[in-house]
Amino acid sequence: MAGAQPPSTTSQPQSKAAIERGITRLGERITELEQFDLETVSSSAPADLVALAAAIKDTLIRCFGENTSTFRRLQSAAMIHAFPISLDDVRPNNQRYARESIDRSIALLKEAQRTLREDLVDAEHIAKSELDANLSENNTAFSRRVFVVHGHDEGARETVARFLMQLGFEPIILHEQANQGRTVMEKVEAHGQVGFAVVLLTPDDEGCAKGGTPEPRARQNVLLELGYFLGRLGRDKVCALKRGTLEIPSDFAGVVWESMEGSSWKQALGRELEAAGHEIDWNKVMRA
């Protein structure tokens, strides 16, 4: 038979709204203590003081969770007495003893509020970080920046770049960016904050299996960058354009690619950009 799980020693993360509710509830308990009528205290704790102590304990549990280290640190706020605990502590004025007990409870509840306010700052920081990340992700997803991966075919590169510019996109061409002492992949990563990638597969190299006949293929850096943007953006935000006859690696069989023969590739690229969430002026597509 499995043993029981040990009690939690730390408070579980709470939402900003839950923390704010906790601060308000603690404030209500503090007000009740401050307004408590000490004239009702005689030789024992009155029923309304006992009820208030129970409410304080319940509030602490709601705020921090039972059996957490924070709850254990503050739980004595619910121990309100109107008479000495020790028989050696004999005081003639039970109201004064109750006042001291209430003041101690108020101080602990204010400490509980301070703890929650620190948690609230942390929660707001986390929420802001998540919002900034989501905004950054959305801005990237619908960015008008389009990375153009290319080989040695300068004509294909310039044709695609001009077409993208006519549609209002900003083509990012790697060799036009400053090196700043970085490797090729470091440059790709630095300029990869884009919403879409167009990969030009042109027969710039030859290759084959050992002992086979060399066949035209795209440059290896083009295939590497194709794989990079598939992983970074997803297949729906990558379009490959193929010019001429060349081998397409079987690992990329699921990639959308269009032939650059003729002008139909422009409509095809426009559709892919639109499907990825970008606004396309089809009049410009037809005139390009």
pLDDT at position 12: 57
- How far apart are the C-alpha atoms of 113 and 12, rounded to whole Å? 16
Question: CB neighbours (10 Å) of residue 42?
Answer: 11
The pLDDT of residue 113 is 94
Give pLDDT, residue 176: 77
Tell me the residue ranges of DSSP E strands in 115-251: 145-149, 170-173, 196-201, 205-207, 215-217, 238-242
Show pLDDT as tens, one digit a residue, over the chain (288 residues).
444 444 444 555 678 888 999 999 999 999 999 998 887 776 566 788 888 999 999 999 999 998 899 999 999 999 887 665 444 444 456 777 888 889 999 999 999 999 999 888 888 777 777 766 665 555 555 578 899 999 898 999 999 999 999 999 999 988 777 777 777 777 778 777 888 999 999 888 877 778 878 888 888 888 888 888 888 888 889 999 988 887 776 666 666 678 888 888 999 999 999 998 888 999 888 887
Confidence (pLDDT) at 166 = 94
């009702």: which residue's tokens?
40
Backbone angles phi, psi at 116, to 5 degrees: -65, -35
Tokens of 27: 């404030």
Give the DSSP letter of residue 176.
Answer: G
Domain 142-287 has CATH 1.20.140.10: no
What type of residue sits at position 182? Answer: R
Which residues of the chain form beta strands (DSSP E)? 145-149, 170-173, 196-201, 205-207, 215-217, 238-242, 257-259
pLDDT at residue 84 in the model: 56
The region that residue 211 occupies, defined by phi over 0 for left and psi between -120 and 50 for alpha, beta otherwise, is: left
pLDDT of residue 108: 95
- Compute the Cα dihedral for 252, 258, 260, 265 and give only its sign: negative
The pLDDT score that the predictor gives to residue 22 is 92
Question: So what's the pLDDT on residue 90?
Answer: 47
In one-letter notation, the amino acid at residue 237 is K
Compute φ and ψ for 138, nearest 5 degrees. Answer: -65, -40
Q: What are the C-alpha distances in Å from 237 to residues 8, 30, 157? A: 45, 57, 18
Domain ranges of the chain: 16-138, 142-287
